[in-house]
Amino acid sequence: MTGIFDLAVIGSGPGGYRAAVLGALRGLNVVIVERAEWGGCCLNRGCVPKKDWYHTARLIAAQRHFEGRGISGALSGNLDQAWAHQHDVVATVRDSYRSYLKHLKVQALDGQARFLGPEELEVRGTDGTRSVRARHSIIATGAAPIVPEPFALADGRILSTDMLFDRPPPDGRRVAVIGSGVVATEFAFILRMLGREITWLTRSRPLARLGFSPQALSTLEQQLAAADAVPQRVPGYKSVQVGGAGVTITTTDDRQFEVDWVLLGTGRRPQTDGLGLDAIGVATDRNGFVQRDATLQTAVPNIYAIGDVAGDWMTANHALSDATISIDNILGGNARRQDGRFVPMVIYSAVEMARLGLDEDSAEDEELEPAVGFAAFETSPRALGQDEPEGFVRLIGDMDTGALLGGEIIGGDAGELIHLLSLAPDRDTALAWLARGTWNHPARAEEILNATETLASKWHLQAAIFGDPERG
């Protein structure tokens, strides 16, 4: 391959794909390299197929309100058919990805990329090896599942979430879900709604490390209990035995759990093997993450790292945000800095949960004065009409300036509503931007306005949020 590209992107997940598309739209000559399935984990084995299943799960969960709404009949989940549905959705999206890259004249290469120098890559594919030269590169190679001891992957018996989407699900209704993070919390609910008997084993309170408020975690636990997807706390795992009849898990306190198969939701590790990073001076930390600064540059200034391979947030949202910032910095002299705390974090489980920014403790750590504004969905006409009154909007503002420090939305459509907290021109004026907007009624979004107005009134921030009336 002759000539030199403006940008080489390694990995075609949400971050890599967006970086390639945005770079091309803004005039860069781009090449993107993928060694496995186009679209990465998110499209093929993560957020896209999982959201497909989540929609089905929510439809089934809603039937507990059918009788009161005058709807007769019952729904049941079929995991095999659900698997086939997401498979079709993924194939459709993947085809559109490839088609759009071609439309933008992005050069797409299949193969394993390895750095030979700061501006030179070797790409080994099934059709041979080629050299690629690029002025800038973005590493977006994602992450792979962690399999903790004493578990070991076994087809049809002990699965990572990657394996769950690689082929139709195993036979057997009894499923153990292992883990207390996002993936386990989502799949425990989804699989229960899709007709599986769930044994959910955790070593800590689900989602306890993600910064959600005690009220949010309590709401989640109540809704999980209503869905019959209740976690069981265990101190650890002594042994895991795979046999013809299923899997036996023995915990360190000598309890035994017998299931047909196991799904591991035990985290992911960054994927950097084969990239040749050491040879060019790109460092990784002790957990394997590519080291970068707030501009997303590595120790080699023309090489950037984005998404799961470089940040322990490990969400598609963060990868997409990283992609935007990296392209801005390539074109604009590295003026933008990333703060992952202000990228939305969304959980799709028995109740939808979304948050961004600081909580009270982290605000106080930064010597700020947090003030809270709260509005519950239990009195929302829209939420009541949907039979989903659980949850709330909780905003955190700066008591001195009225700046938005953070917020969380718990309840139906939280993953959509959270965007309203991230779209203002800046955080200093975000609450004022919300307070002066116009709103549809009845709508869940109105509770964001109510929380903003409550915060202003309770903490005497009317002037900061609504403006000084004497100034017009």
152 part of a folded domain: no
Tens digits of residue pLDDT in 241-252: 999 889 999 999
Name beta bridge partners: 113: 123
94 and 17 in contact (C-beta within 8 Å)?
no
Residues 407 and 285 in one domain: no
How many domains is the chain built from? 3
Residues 40 and 129 in one domain: yes
449 and 435 in contact (C-beta within 8 Å)?
yes
- The pTM for the full model equals 0.96
Tens digits of residue pLDDT in 149-165: 999 999 999 999 999 99
> Which band of pLDDT confidence, cut at 50, 70 and 90, is reported for residue 468?
low
356 part of a folded domain: yes
149 part of a folded domain: no
Residues 441 and 308 in one domain: no
Tens digits of residue pLDDT in 196-240: 999 999 999 999 999 999 999 999 999 999 999 999 999 999 999
Residues 174 and 116 in one domain: no
Residues 303 and 207 in one domain: no
Residues 127 and 15 in one domain: yes
Tens digits of residue pLDDT in 110-139: 999 999 999 999 999 988 999 999 999 999
Phi first, then psi: give them for residue 140, nearest 5 degrees. -140, 50
Residues 277 and 135 in one domain: yes
Residues 54 and 93 in one domain: yes
Residues 315 and 371 in one domain: no
Residues 138 and 213 in one domain: no
Q: Residue 382: what pLDDT? A: 98
> What is the extent of the structural domain holding 125?
5-144+269-341
Residues 262 and 227 in one domain: yes
Tens digits of residue pLDDT in 6-49: 999 999 999 999 999 999 999 999 999 999 999 999 999 999 99
354 and 409 in contact (C-beta within 8 Å)?
yes
Instruction: Record the tokens describing residue 412, joined without a space.
Output: 């139906």
| Whether the bond into 389 is cis, omega within 30 of 0 | no
Query: Residue 97 belongs to a domain with what CATH number?
Result: 3.50.50.60
151 part of a folded domain: no
Tens digits of residue pLDDT in 424-466: 889 999 999 999 999 999 999 999 999 999 999 999 999 999 8
